[in-house]
Amino acid sequence: MTKQTTEKEWPLWEVFIRSKAGLDHKHCGSVHASDAEIALESARDVYTRRSEGISIWVVPSNAITASKPEDKESLFEPADDKIYRHPTFYDIPKGAGKM
Amino acid sequence: MYGDTSIQKPIKIAEPTSAEQAKLEEIFQQKIDDDIKIEPQEWMPAAYRKTLVRQMSQHAHSEVIGMQPEGNWLTRAPSLRRKVILLAKIQDEGGHGLYIYSAAETLGTSRAEMIEQLQSGKAKYSSIFNYPALTWADMGTIGWLVDGAAITNQVALSRGSYGPYSRAMIRICKEESFHQRQGYELLLTLSKGTKEQKEMLQESVNRFWWPSLMMFGPNDANSPHSAQSMKWKIKKKSNDQLRQEFIDATVPQAEFLGITLPDPDLKWNEERGHYDYGAIDWEEFGNVINGNGPCNKQRIANHIKAHEDGAWVREAAAAYAEKQQKKQVA
């Protein structure tokens, strides 16, 4: 019991799965593994037991840089007032046909 | 069980220490009230995090310990068909444990820490897995009743406020349906069998009925800190509500099997639109959850043994990874 507390934990890997051809890889969870190869095999066993995927990415969790929740406003709010970026901003007469 | 930690010491909810913190708490509660999920890096009250870590780790432990009663029957499955089904189900339980550990780790608690708490007895797991699986019929009853109760609970948990937990629950619920159906099908087969097989079925259900009802945790009146979990939407329905849902769904299935349930007070209440049921033996529940059930010691001893027996694999894999890394550098 004392042993396991001193034992070094295997690194954490984030798992991304492409569920079928044509779709993006999507994050689905994480696994602990000593190296990338074992991470792939564990991810396969844990996350694709029922044909949930055709391709897996594993990425060391500490290699991911994430935006901070508190930066949400400064990062994403500027997009809200740029309504001219959306097609519905423009009035096109019916006569012009489908556009 | 999974949705209920009320048998343990309550987690203290600290008063906000500053105006700034009070504001953060207000924003947090507003998100919860608006059904906006909480994600890992966001601010959350310390007690929310602590409650979740406790509940999720105990849920994960339940999945993993739950592999033991069924593993007991793998080598004695009566046919190859039943054996591969049982194997797949047990593998799923291991997978479910891993989904939830992975979700719990997003709250900043390490896997090693959680495992240590399980092995030292500090963390609990569902009381149901401290009962032995004595007959082959138990493999069916566990799927039908135990997984059935788990589904009732987990469907509610999948609508909870913490994103990673909720997503893990959705995934688990999809797989859990197979568990319940294979169990019921197994029991249906026994119900059409010999006199001995029918007796084995009835005897198994007699043993598992009450412990299955206990899985939902104490009556609402004795579940004092459920209210906070409900407010935070860690819990979406009360213990008694979930128990009633489970009973209402299960009684007709028992009738279809042609068996009785061991509760003389169980009867349809037209006025309530629900089944009434008898009093639960909470003393037994308390004993089992506090370590004095029939199998508590064995379950933990097995877990520790498996963990220790596997140490050389972990060491070898770590040594291999290190060697490969050195090669790459050189």
What is the distance in angstroms between the Cα of A32 and the nearest Cα belonging to chain B?
A: 9
Q: Kindly state whether B307 is in contact with chain A, defined as any CB-CB distance less than 8 angstroms.
A: yes
Q: What is the DSSP string of A22-36?
A: TS-EEEEEEEE-SSH
- ipTM of the complex model: 0.88
| pLDDT score recorded for residue B103 | 97
- Cross-chain Cβ contact A4/B168 below 8 Å: no
Tell me if A99 is assigned to some domain.
Answer: no
| pLDDT score recorded for residue B150 | 95
**Rg of chain A over CA atoms, in angstroms?**
22
Tell me if A32 is assigned to some domain.
Answer: yes
- Cross-chain Cβ contact B98/A46 below 8 Å: yes
Chain A residue whose CA is closest to B304? A1
| pLDDT score recorded for residue B7 | 59
Chain B residue whose CA is closest to A4? B112
Given a cut of 60, whether residue A49 has pLDDT beyond it is yes
DSSP structure class, residue B220 = G
Backbone phi and psi for residue B250, each to the nearest 5 degrees, phi listed first: -90, -35
CATH number of residue A74's parent domain: 3.10.20.520
- Residues from chain A contacting residue B42 (CB–CB below 8 Å): 69
Mean pLDDT throughout A19-43? 96
- Say if residues A24 and B99 touch (Cβ distance below 8 Å): no
- Say if residues B77 and B83 touch (Cβ distance below 8 Å): yes
CA nearest neighbour of B77 among B155, B137, B149, B10:
B137
| pLDDT score recorded for residue B5 | 56
Task: Count structural domains, chain A.
Answer: 1
CA nearest neighbour of B143 among B220, B78, B88, B217:
B88
| pLDDT score recorded for residue A1 | 37
Task: Give the side-chain half-sphere CA count within 13 A for B47.
Answer: 16
Given a cut of 80, whether residue A4 has pLDDT beyond it is no
| pLDDT score recorded for residue A5 | 42
Tell me if A48 is assigned to some domain.
Answer: yes
Q: Kindly state whether B324 is in contact with chain A, defined as any CB-CB distance less than 8 angstroms.
A: yes
Q: Kindly state whether A50 is in contact with chain B, defined as any CB-CB distance less than 8 angstroms.
A: yes
Tell me if A4 is assigned to some domain.
Answer: no
CA nearest neighbour of A33 among B95, B98, B314, B100:
B314
pLDDT single digits (tens) B176-202: 989 999 999 999 999 999 999 999 999
- Say if residues B328 and B136 touch (Cβ distance below 8 Å): no
CA nearest neighbour of B249 among B217, B221, B213:
B213
pLDDT single digits (tens) B10-41: 777 778 888 999 999 999 999 999 999 999 99
CA nearest neighbour of B282 among B239, B230, B246:
B239
The pair of three-digit structure tokens given for residue B78, joined into one six-digit string: 């009566």
The pair of three-digit structure tokens given for residue A41, joined into one six-digit string: 């095999």
Chain A residue whose CA is closest to B43? A69
Tell me if A61 is assigned to some domain.
Answer: yes
Mean pLDDT throughout B204-210? 98
Given a cut of 80, whether residue A2 has pLDDT beyond it is no
Tell me if A46 is assigned to some domain.
Answer: yes
Bridge-based pairing state of the strands B267-269 and A25-32: unpaired
Tell me if A3 is assigned to some domain.
Answer: no
Least confident of A30-34, B146-150, B209-213, B226-230: B226-230
Mean pLDDT throughout A11-16? 96
Tell me if A17 is assigned to some domain.
Answer: yes
Q: Kindly state whether A40 is in contact with chain B, defined as any CB-CB distance less than 8 angstroms.
A: no
Residue for token pair 């507390």: A5
CA nearest neighbour of B99 among B172, B158, B159:
B172
- Cross-chain Cβ contact B317/A31 below 8 Å: no
DSSP structure class, residue B162 = B
Which of A2, A8, A46 would you mutate first to test chain B, the one with the most B CBs within 10 A?
A46
- Residues from chain B contacting residue A8 (CB–CB below 8 Å): 318
Given a cut of 80, whether residue B62 has pLDDT beyond it is yes
Of chain B, the percentage scoring pLDDT greater than 70 comes to 98
Domain of residue A20: give its range.
12-94
